[in-house]
Each structure stands twice: as C-alpha cells, then as structure tokens.
Amino acid sequence: MSSNIVFKGSKNGLQLIIDDNVDFDSVLEQLKLKLASASEFFTNGSAQIQVPAANSRFTPEQQTELITLFSHYGLTWLKDNNTGHQEGPVFDESQAVDEQDHPLIISKTVRNGQEIVHQGTIVVQGDINPGAKVIAGGDILVHGTCRGVAHAGAFGNMNATITADRLLATQIRIAGLIARAPDNLDIPECVETARIVDGAVIIEPA
C-alpha cells in the first residue's frame, strides 16, 4: 500500500502532510502504522504536531480521533488557525467545542491505564490516578485528587484551565504547553487552578 501521509519537520515540531484524495479511514490506518513503527522517537511526550487544513478536511469527531491517537505517542496537536486556502465546510475550533455543549461528567475515579477524551469540558467527580489520562478540548475540573496526566485545551484553546481539589498531576498540559510536577511536591492546602499566563503554565489558588 502506497503511503498517502508524510511527516515533515518544521520550526514548531512536526507537520502531517495528507494527500487531498485520501479518505479519513485510510489516513487513520496509515497513521497508526507509521506512529507504531516510530514510537521510540516520541517517548519524551513533548513533541508537537500540526495537521495543515485539518479544520476544512475533518469533522470535530474525526479530529478527536486524531487527538486520541496522537496522545498515545506523546504528541500534542498544535492547532493552526491559519489554514490558508480552504474548500468545503470549515469547522471553527470554538464552534466544535460548543457543539459538545454538555460537559462530560465522570462520576468515579479514573484509574491507571484509563484514558478519557472529550471535545468540551470534563468534570471528574473522583480522583485521576497515576497512569490515567484525561484529555479535554475545554476545561478539566476534578472534585478529588489529580495525580495522572491532565490535558486541557487539546484543540489549542490557550484559555483552558485545569482545576482540582488537590492538583498533584504527574503532567499538566494546556494547549501545546506542558508542565511537570516537581519531585518534592507539597500537598496543596486549597483548590488550585492551572492556566497559561505570559506563555507559561502556572498553578495558583482557585
């Protein structure tokens, strides 16, 4: 099978170039094979990837599938709102989140090995255990302890936040920015929120 997708390096990380004539199912199949064969290159969990013209080519649901696949290999999708010439329907990023107008409510602890992905806001009424991942296009709110990986604003929303009763995440991502917990982390005494301020992720009392 000939390849219809190509990875190229760019100043912002990687670009995924896709043949205009290939359908989404073929893109997904080929992407899984390529990522699996090159998984050792993405082990640091800090690489960013762009998919030019994704808004015009893929539905919000298809974009969520890509985000889920990328996250398995530590890739953060850096959404590019400057897509140039576009044909066909354009899916606006903010509208894509609004269409998922109801927050996803998780009424239990997210355990090791589990991964939750949603285009809008995710509310966890429990803990996020180490080894678990929660990926949201909007905000993440945890009514408990967050010790796993929390990725808010996964579509590139720089205004997204992560709030938890006890914010002890092993890794915090907001849009394309990543913050890791320090080795010696004190137990927080109040509810905390992570947000982007001046191009960096900071954690402050909610």
* Dihedral, CA of residue 4, residue 87, residue 176 and residue 26, to nearest 10: -30
Same structural domain, 164 and 184 = yes
**Whether the predicted pLDDT of 202 surpasses 60:** yes
Same structural domain, 122 and 201 = yes
Model's pTM, two decimal places? 0.57
Q: Which residue, of 70, 91, 112, is where some domain finishes?
A: 91
Q: How confident is the model at residue 11 (pLDDT cuts 50, 70, 90)?
A: low
Q: Which residue, of 62, 91, 120, is where some domain finishes?
A: 91
CA Rg value for the chain: 17
Find the domain containing 76 and state its range. 5-91
Same structural domain, 77 and 20 = yes
**Range with the lowest mean pLDDT among 50-59, 97-106, 108-117, 147-156?**
97-106
pLDDT for 143-184, tens place per residue? 999 999 999 988 788 999 999 999 999 899 998 888 865 555
Same structural domain, 17 and 86 = yes
pLDDT for 17-55, tens place per residue? 888 888 888 888 888 888 777 665 554 455 677 888 787
Same structural domain, 159 and 123 = yes
**Whether the predicted pLDDT of 195 surpasses 90:** yes
pLDDT for 45-73, tens place per residue? 556 778 887 877 888 888 888 888 887 77
Same structural domain, 74 and 159 = no
Strand spans (E) along the chain: 5-10, 13-18, 47-50, 75-77, 104-106, 115-118, 122-124, 133-136, 140-146, 149-152, 162-167, 171-174, 177-180, 192-197, 200-205
**DSSP secondary-structure letter at 125?**
S
Based on the structure, what is the number of domains in the chain? 2
How high is the pLDDT of residue 89? 32
Q: Residue 46 maps to which CATH number?
A: 3.30.750.50
Total residues found in the chain within this entry: 206
- Per-residue b/e over 90-100, b at no fewer than 16 CB within 10 Å? ebebeebbeeb
End-to-end Cα distance, the chain? 52
Same structural domain, 65 and 11 = yes
Q: Which residue, of 58, 91, 124, is where some domain finishes?
A: 91
**Range with the lowest mean pLDDT among 54-63, 108-117, 124-133?**
54-63
